[in-house]
């Protein structure tokens, strides 16, 4: 999904249903698959290697949360930082698929330095993902964004 010469990350995570994971990551999010077996699938997740490993439902970990902007944000989550228009497109794809939003799409710090769009959704196994976009992508690692505490 992404092109360019940059280091890629690899993230392996548990799923309880490989077919449901394939439908969500491929059909909803638009990821391509790579190698796979009866117990795991590689996904091209915006140029990064995401590997869904099949586990029994009782072995899937529960997620603790932290309060952010009045939302219970899962402390364990992952996801891409997208261009603003890409984020808007993912919102539409997720809504069309009746995705399970943990935190509905919204804009943080609207009109201020550090303005960003975010949403949290779960995949079919309950893994939390965050999709975000910065109005000014150069501020992704900025330390001095006034509203942060």
Q: What is the pLDDT of residue 99?
A: 96
Number of domains in the chain: 2
Kindly state the average pLDDT of the residues 74-82: 93
What distance in Å separates the CA atoms of residue 105 and residue 111, rounded to the nearest whole number?
16
- Do 49 and 77 belong to one domain? no
Rounded to two decimals, the pTM is: 0.88
Range of the domain at 50: 1-55
Do 33 and 82 have their domain in common? Answer: no
User: Are the CB atoms for 116 and 109 separated by under 8 Å?
Assistant: yes
pLDDT, one tens digit per residue, over 85-133 is 999 999 999 999 999 999 999 999 898 888 999 999 999 999 999 999 9
In the numeric block, the tokens 């001095």 are attached to 144
**End of a domain among 29, 55, 81?**
55
User: What value does the mean pLDDT take over residues 36-60?
Assistant: 95
Same domain, 87 and 44: no
Residue 77 and residue 116 in one domain: yes
Query: Which letter does DSSP use for residue 78 in this model?
Result: B
Question: Looking at residues 57-80, what average pLDDT do you find?
Answer: 88
Q: What is the pLDDT of residue 149?
A: 42
Do 110 and 39 fall within a single domain?
no
- Is pLDDT at 66 greater than 80 in this prediction? yes
Mean pLDDT computed over 59-68: 86
Are residues 71 and 128 located together in one domain of the fold? yes
C-alpha 94/C-alpha 107 separation (Å) is: 17
Q: How confident is the model at residue 6 (pLDDT cuts 50, 70, 90)?
A: confident
- Residues 73 and 141 placed together within one structural domain of the fold: yes
């Amino acid at each position: 999904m992404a092109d360019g010469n940059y280091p890629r990350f690899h993230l392996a995570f548990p799923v309880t249903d490989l077919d449901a994971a394939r439908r969500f990551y491929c059909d909803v999010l638009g990821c391509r698959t790579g190698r796979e077996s009866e117990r795991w699938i590689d996904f091209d997740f915006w140029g990064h290697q995401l590997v869904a490993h099949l586990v029994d439902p009782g072995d899937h970990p529960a997620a603790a949360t932290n309060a952010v902007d009045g939302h219970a944000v899962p402390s364990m989550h992952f996801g891409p930082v997208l261009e603003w228009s890409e984020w808007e497109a993912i919102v539409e794809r997720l809504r069309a698929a009746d995705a399970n939003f943990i935190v509905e799409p919204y804009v943080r710090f609207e009109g201020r330095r550090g303005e960003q769009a975010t949403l949290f959704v779960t995949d079919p196994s309950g893994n939390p993902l965050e999709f975000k976009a910065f109005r000014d992508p150069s501020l992704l690692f900025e330390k001095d964004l006034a509203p942060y505490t």
